[in-house]
Amino acid sequence: MQIASWNVNSIRTRLDHVLRWLENSDVDLLALQETKVDDPLFPSESFRAKGYNVSFHGQKSYNGVALVSRHSLEDVRLGFTGELTADLQTEELSQQKRVISALVDGIRVINLYVPNGSSLKSEKYAYKLQWLSCLERYLRATQLRDEPLCVVGDFNIGPEARDLHDPDRLSGGIMASDAERDALSQALGDDLKDAFRLFESGSGHWSWWDYRSGAWNRDSGWRIDHIYLSSDLQELALSCKIDKRERDREQPSDHAPVIVDLSWELEDESGDDDGSFVAD
């Protein structure tokens, strides 16, 4: 079972890239962020025509998340209010379309597009911290159901110095402040662990390179796209990789896909051929 996360910076602009990438991969479930399209205009048919199920939660111009799956998407939940009681703050923080989750082959997959925050003095930064605090309640509520949990997305936070190309200059600033890192760590809790760090402890591995200042050519990136696994899934993790080739294409997204491979037995879905079992 392979699960991937990719901020595509407009699904309509990136549609051909995404379809080609899916065809050339063994990914079962792809979580998309920054689809930048209202639901009626989401290119669902392009995915369905290739045999994928899709669920999406979008808006015009900004934000937007989606799930693309070879298997069925069950119990789809949209926004924080898909999980939490809709009090005033939760509704306010669900206006921007940044959260979608579904049960896929028995795994609860949560797809997040965490606010960027703009700058430490911005009201958007305060919004980001509020949003992360709401995420904490959201994850605790989800964990009550005791499902194997995989939380993926664009977190817009480099958790540690090794996740930044220039930690001396960038640490403490937006996407690398103590308050953001603490809020994310608090939201994730004790059980969820970064799948990438189960396999790679070094620096120099990025998932996002700014379009500006030749960041890609200078390899000035950040690792802000993550996949977090509950402890039961950590034991089943076989690999976690960033496919940086996608950042090197014509008209690329500024993010590369992150992929985790889990040794998870797929449940037999009626009418769905997962491929034949080959005995020794």
Q: Select the residue interacting with DNA from 140, 166, 186, 211 (CB under 7 A).
A: 211
* CB-CB contact of 206 with 7 (8 Å): no
Comparison of 35 and 230: residue with beta carbon closer to DNA: 35
Q: Select the residue interacting with DNA from 254, 256, 258, 260 (CB under 7 A).
A: 254
Q: Select the residue interacting with DNA from 146, 210, 235, 272 (CB under 7 A).
A: 210
Q: Is 201 near DNA (CB under 7 A)?
A: no
Q: Is 251 near DNA (CB under 7 A)?
A: yes
Span interacting with DNA, options 10-18, 45-53, 130-138, 185-193, rule CB under 7 A: 10-18
Q: Position 130: which residue type?
A: Q
Q: Which residue's entry shows tokens 């491929």?
A: 275
Which of 28, 52, 105, 113 does the annotation list as catalytic?
113
Span interacting with DNA, options 47-55, 189-197, 198-206, 208-216, rule CB under 7 A: 208-216
* CB-CB contact of 199 with 240 (8 Å): yes
d(CA 93, CA 211): 28
Comparison of 69 and 207: residue with beta carbon closer to DNA: 207
Which of 28, 105, 154, 194 does the annotation list as catalytic?
154
Span interacting with DNA, options 2-10, 23-31, 189-197, 263-271, rule CB under 7 A: 2-10
Q: Is 95 near DNA (CB under 7 A)?
A: no
Q: Is 46 near DNA (CB under 7 A)?
A: no
Query: Which tokens go with 183?
Result: 């809020």
Q: Is 180 near DNA (CB under 7 A)?
A: no
Q: Is 16 near DNA (CB under 7 A)?
A: no
d(CA 106, CA 84): 21
Q: Is 113 a catalytic site residue?
A: yes
Restricted to residues 96-155, the positions that interact with DNA (CB under 7 A) are 115-116, 118-119, 124, 154
Q: 56: which strand partners?
A: 66
Count CB neighbours of 41 within 10 A. Answer: 13
How many residues of this chain bind DNA (CB under 7 A)? 30
Q: Is 261 a catalytic site residue?
A: no
Q: Position 31: which residue type?
A: A
Which positions are annotated as active-site residues?
113, 154
